[in-house]
Amino acid sequence: MGSALTTIGLPVALGIIMFGLGLSLTLRDFARVAKQPKAVVIALACQLIVLPVICFGLVVLFRLPPILAVGMMMLAASPGGTTANLYSHLFRGDIALNISLTAVNSVIAVFTLPLITNLAIAYFDPFDGALGMQWAKTLEVFAIVLLPVALGMLVRHFWPGFAKRMDKPVRIVSVIVLVVVIGGAVASNWQLLIDNFGRLAAITILFCLISLAVGYWVPRLFRVGRRQAVASSFEIGIHNATLAIVIAQTVMGSVELSLPAAVYGVLMFFVAFAFGFVIRGKAGVEEREEDGDAAPDAEPEASASRA
């Protein structure tokens, strides 16, 4: 039962999620990248270069066993999850930027995820000299990630009314299927998960926090707008844990490899929610400071008008 849930249920659940993403995308979402090049380039640089380097440092610092170390690196290489759009909406981020980043990131991840995973396998050697993700498995990643998205985009293009009506039901179904499948997978591997939860909880929480912080403050450092920084934060900080789990269990055939993503997938919701309130409070302080700076300039004008 657990094996069937993993080999059939997880890919189906991810396929529904990615199809739902495709229903919300048009070619304009890819073209929009050209209108906000600085925000997009900075976010992608953080996602594709900074985070894998940080994750590697954490893995070495925490001295994770090789198989879990590779699982963490695979998680770091995964693109942003569709949940990032929801968090961006809740905390007043630029949702259009989120959608564009998710679209571009999903395409790039087809190449970068196998590359980073193979580098991690070569370095940590969890499979006793066995080769990593070969070309055929890379094609599987391509099929898992992009084909459902492309199908969703085609439906949106040719039947926009149907796509609009189906958007919410597909989201609901994907959540229900995902909960059932992951619940079954967790139940069938309960002892393995419990044995490793303690050592993975700290590193996944820290990685999530650092990802969110990098996603917000690096764009702000380069004078990207606050709403764009919020979108970048959640896009970079909320990884597609489901994708990492599917690749680990169905493409690579290792439940243990998927454990970092499984633990992260549970804890990230709480971490991201708390971080959202932190940056919302920070935004309030910034707005009050800006109002305070503007106040002295207003007084001479008021005095002049009274004179």
Beta carbons of 152 and 23 less than 8 angstroms apart: yes
CA distance 280 to 212: 13
> b/e string for 63-101 if b means 16 or more Cβ within 10 A?
ebebbbbbbbbbbbbbbbbbbbbbbbeebebbbbbbbbb
pLDDT value of position 135: 59
What Cα–Cα distance (Å) separates residue 143 from each residue in 90, 208, 289? 32, 27, 49
- DSSP codes, 165-177: HHHHHHHHHHHHH
Q: What distance in Å separates the CA atoms of residue 218 and residue 196, rounded to the nearest whole number?
A: 32
Query: Is 283 a residue whose pLDDT tops 80?
Result: no
In the chain, where are the structural domains located?
Answer: 2-306
Residues in a beta bridge with 80: 239
pLDDT digits (tens, 9 = 90+) for 190-237: 777 787 888 899 999 999 999 999 999 999 999 999 999 999 999 999
Specify the pTM.
0.78
CA gap 11, 211 in Å, rounded: 26
Residue 80: φ, ψ to 5°: -65, 145
Looking at residue 291, what is its pLDDT? 45
- Say whether pLDDT at 238 is over 80: yes
CATH topology classification for 2-306? Na+/H+ antiporter like fold (1.20.1530)
Cα atoms in the 13 Å half-sphere on the side-chain side of 171: 12
In the predicted structure, residue 53 carries a pLDDT above the cut 80: yes
- pLDDT at site 181: 64
Strand, coil or helix: what is 238?
Answer: coil
When pLDDT is cut at 50, 70 and 90, the band that residue 176 belongs to is: confident
Rounded to the nearest integer, the mean pLDDT of the chain is: 80
Q: 221, 231, 226: which is closest to 285 by C-alpha?
A: 226
Measured CA to CA, the distance from residue 228 to residue 93 in angstroms comes to 6
Please check whether residue 62 is in contact with residue 199, taking contact to mean a CB–CB distance below 8 angstroms: yes
